[in-house]
Amino acid sequence: DKAISALQILPDTPWREALIGLAHIAVQRDR
């Protein structure tokens, strides 16, 4: 998914893990 791929470019911070988690939830809701 493009959104998740873009998030993986971010620096390795606690925020990144939270954002990726939210992105996965958003992707699952779209289905």
Q: Which domain holds residue 20?
A: 1-31
Q: How far apart are CA 28 and CA 12, in angstroms?
A: 24
In the prediction, which pLDDT does 28 show?
87
Q: Express each pLDDT in 1-31 by its tens digit.
A: 677 777 677 667 778 788 888 888 988 887 7
Q: What was the pLDDT predicted at 23?
A: 86
7 to each of 17, 18, 27, 28, how far by Cα in Å?
A: 9, 10, 13, 17
Is the pTM for the entire model greater than 0.85?
no
Provide the number of structural domains found in the chain.
1
